[in-house]
Structure 1
Amino acid sequence: MKDKLHFTSLLIACMLFVGCNPKSDVYKATDFGAIANGKTVNTEAIQRAIDACNEGGGGTVILDKGDYVSGTLLLKDKVTLHIAEDAQLIGSSNPLDYQSIDTFTDATGQKRGNCLIGAKNATNIAVTGKGTIDGNGEAFLAKNIKAKIKELNLAQTEGFGSNRPFLLRFVNSSQIKVQDVHLRQPAAWTCHFYQSNDILVENVSIYSHAHKNNDGIDLDSSYDAIIKNCDINTGDDAICIKTTSPKPTYNVQVSDCKLRSDWGSIKFGTESMGDMYNIDITNCQIYDTKGGGIKVLSVDGANIHDVTIDGIQMDRVDMPIFIRLGERLRTYRNAEKQEVGSITDVIIKNVKGSARALDSSRVNPPSGILMTGTPNHKIGKILLENIELELPGGGIEEHTMATVAEDETRYPEFSFFTVLPAYGLYGRHIENLQTNNVVFTLNGTDKRESQVLVDTHTTLSE
């Protein structure tokens, strides 16, 4: 009897032990051979941890304390890559350490697809943690690529390093979360979502000035996306809604973000084959931006509609608002050329801010708002409400006679139109422009009119 009781006690203890210690869903990269010394290339070791996590039914792969150098890592279903606060994931300086997923040619004619962290046809994936992911983008500058070719003693060098890696890239994937991490210095775009859905980007900081074409967040032919509480500082577009395929980007919410850019802080396009709609952008701060605060551009066939941009503070911003419907009609990914698109039902309201000073403006003297369609394709319904913009002035008599080119097929950039005949608002080829409490304040003299409207029907909103 005593032996029986002893056995029962042992059985209960074992059951309790098993119940309290289920199979771990945490996978430390160091347990799979990763070495966090800032030198060893850990691509294979970290990928082993990701694969084991996926094969074990999902969980979290952790990079803790230290600097982990790596090439391309591919996330798989139900895997979270967690970068601890005292850890860094650093992109390898060797282009041969990267893979391309869904290679395509971008608007600049460059091959794209390489990435540091990627996913294709994956679901329920995440990149989290308060650590840093650094793309080591300067390694892909021309002078450093030449040095790498010499270091590796390569005979065939054509195209070597030209497919500059994105930092994060998600293709045909769903249920994606990017949260809390610091994303720094990629060689190309920072965070690209292509034909993906159910996306959350939250509390993410981005600093991207290591190379060219260094966007912050690109939502590309994707839907059901939330971007909130992010701090983004980029040399190219900060948040970009685009479509490099005929599939649309829609159901997007952007809120409470701090944005700085050398090209455009909030941008739709320029790559714009598919439609863009049901997009709300609220309560964002834009500062020290050289290339445009809010830019809504359809030039490749996109129908942009049902867009609300509300509650924007701007400080030292080139061309606060730029809307362009054009006829460039560029194609991507071997898609058929689209018909000319449209822009309508766009609301921009509760915007307050200032333009850059004369000596730092790309167009001198600058203007506050430029909106133009083409003679054969007018912009539809636009509402501007409660907008207060402070401008430096500087317009002289000859600027009042400035001619504004149509340039229907040209790349859509406000600076290409040069000086406008209005310091506040220049509108052209618009079917229905509604304005309410749109105020421009000058810090200096300006001989130009506050508003000049050409081929535009206007009404005051109620």
Structure 2
Amino acid sequence: MKNIIVYSITSLVIALFFLGAMVSFSPKPKIYDIKNFGAKGDGITINTKAIQKAIDKCSKNGGGIVLLREGIFSSGTILLKDNVTLQIDENAKLMGSANPQDYQSIDTFIDATGQERGTCLIGAMGAKNIGISGTGSIDGNGAAFLAKNLAIKKKALGISGEDTFGGNRPFLLRFVKTTQITLKNIHIREAAAWACHFFQSSNILIDNVSIYNHANRNNDGIDLDSSHDIVIKNCTINSGDDAICIKSTSPLPTYNVKVSNCTLRSDWGAIKFGTESMGDFYNIDIRDCTIEDTKGGGIKILSVDGANIHDVLIENIEMNQVDMPIFVRLGERLRTYRTTSKQAVGSIKDVVIRNIKATTRGLDSSRVSPPSGILITGTPKYKIGSLTLDHISIDLPGGGKAADIIQVPEDETRYPEFSFFKVLPAYGLYARHIKELKINDLKFKTTTADQRSEIVVIE
């Protein structure tokens, strides 16, 4: 028996030795410094070709790291390829060119506002195992694409007449039909449109990323579009438009999404489903987040183009100074994208929103004044299915008058925005056209008197 024990221990020591040797001698990823390909970090030189050469060679040789270090590297569109991680060191910045002619469009489409989209600073099309990392920054130079600045640029380039110069404002990051994407530790700044767009992509990790996006219009933070198997955690997003947006500009669904430990601020919506909503949304878990100083809605769940939304859990959310903390809308807009056929009206069911603590904006800063806490509405023909509100506390300013109580419009086919419904008959919860509404421990507190009802539920 002793010999057996000795033999087992010896075998373990030998196994650990070889494991350590394998770790010690495992090849490190090869590094491709863009300066070795002719890139200059002077903030003036357009380095598109040099960076792309480094990416192409890295991918061709089996993958590795394309490195930006020390400097401001201006560029137009660069495309990531298989097995390439773009690493931007602390003292480095990738800056978008101010010239629209330096960008290219991939998988061009028309969004819900009627604008052509598809150009980007960093893109990928049909790639796998790619990433962006480092503690440096990516700046989209979005202010250069404001109309007044485009006019100056156009004049300087000697361009006259009507054309599409600068019309397709570039996203900062855009991934199309790409899998195994990692964004980690990077600082993302000032896109000309959306900051991060994932379309028909999968296996996505976004960890400890900070986004500040206020330079232009439609400045979303992260858009998950007909994509799946996604984790977003430990991120800070401050955006002019939606902070985290789950959408579908194709009939394919967005599903298996987990969001946690994020701090969000937005001028339009912090956590949003839609408005582009052709494909379904399901298996979505959003938890342990803080929403600060948001003007356009805290949690917005919108199916208006045919999406069936189900199996959604949103919990442990704290909101401070937020317009309309919860807005749920099933509508009949039925817009189409990418030459697809019109969908049937969708549905909303099996949605749980719980452990929410919110404070709304004051009377002088609310888009609808006096504000309300929760708006839930289907349409006369299409009712919301099942929705649970559990342990929710909302503080409001009050101030509603009897004269404020009017008939709430239906607007079945209109763009779904809570402000279009104007002042609601209830300061707490107004709900209608819903089959099953489960309520447990729902509390509203006003700092001044409000002559409207606390809760109005209409079948």
Instruction: Give the TM-score category using the shorter length.
Output: over 0.9
Match of 1:446 in 2: 450
SS where residue 155 of structure 2 aligns? Answer: helix
CA distance in 2: counterparts of 1:94 and 1:395, whole angstroms: 50
Instruction: Say if 2:433 is the partner of 1:433.
Output: no
Q: CA deviation at 1:155?
A: 3.6
**1:29, 1:49 within 8 Å by CA — same for their partners in 2?**
yes
Alignment of 1:208-223 (within 5 A): 208-223=213-228
The answer for unaligned runs of 5 or more in structure 1 is 1-18, 456-462
Alignment of 1:340-355 (within 5 A): 340-355=345-360
Q: Deviations over 1:341-369 (max 9, x none)?
A: 00000000000010000000000100000
Instruction: Say if 2:253 is the partner of 1:248.
Output: yes
**2:278, 2:343 within 8 Å by CA — same for their partners in 1?**
yes
Instruction: Say if 2:274 is the partner of 1:266.
Output: no
Q: CA deviation at 1:42?
A: 0.3
CA distance in 2: counterparts of 1:186 and 1:71, whole angstroms: 13
Match of 1:420 in 2: 424
Instruction: Say if 2:52 is the partner of 1:47.
Output: yes
Q: Name the Cα RMSD after superposition.
A: 1.2
Match of 1:199 in 2: 204
Choose the corresponding residue for 2:289, options 284, 287, 292.
Answer: 284
Change (3 A) 1:443 1:44: same
Instruction: Say if 2:410 is the partner of 1:406.
Output: yes
CA distance in 2: counterparts of 1:63 and 1:269, whole angstroms: 36
Q: Deviations over 1:386-407 (max 9, x none)?
A: 00000000101112x3110000
CA distance in 2: counterparts of 1:366 and 1:423, whole angstroms: 7
CA distance in 2: counterparts of 1:164 and 1:58, whole angstroms: 30
Query: What number of residue pairs does the alignment pair up?
Result: 436
Q: Deviations over 1:74-126 (max 9, x none)?
A: 00000000010110000000000001000000011110000000000000000
Change (3 A) 1:294 1:22: closer
Change (3 A) 1:34 1:448: same
Q: CA deviation at 1:25?
A: 1.0
**1:149, 1:157 within 8 Å by CA — same for their partners in 2?**
no
TM-score normalized with structure 2 length:
0.94
Q: CA deviation at 1:437?
A: 0.2
Change (3 A) 1:70 1:257: same
CA distance in 1: counterparts of 2:26 and 2:260, whole angstroms: 41
Match of 1:122 in 2: 127
Amino acid at match of 1:441: K
Alignment of 1:228-247 (within 5 A): 228-247=233-252
**2:188, 2:210 within 8 Å by CA — same for their partners in 1?**
yes
Choose the corresponding residue for 1:132, options 131, 137, 152.
Answer: 137
Q: CA deviation at 1:338?
A: 0.2
The answer for unaligned runs of 5 or more in structure 2 is 1-23
Q: CA deviation at 1:21?
A: 11
**2:265, 2:292 within 8 Å by CA — same for their partners in 1?**
yes
Q: CA deviation at 1:154?
A: 1.7
CA distance in 2: counterparts of 1:172 and 1:217, whole angstroms: 16
Match of 2:343 in 1: 338
CA distance in 2: counterparts of 1:417 and 1:353, whole angstroms: 21
Choose the corresponding residue for 1:68, options 73, 82, 87.
Answer: 73
Give the percent of matched residue pairs that are identical in Structure 1 and Structure 2.
64
Q: CA deviation at 1:156?
A: 5.1
CA distance in 2: counterparts of 1:354 and 1:92, whole angstroms: 41
CA distance in 1: counterparts of 2:208 and 2:406, whole angstroms: 45
SS where residue 127 of structure 1 aligns? Answer: strand
Choose the corresponding residue for 2:163, options 142, 158, 161.
Answer: 158
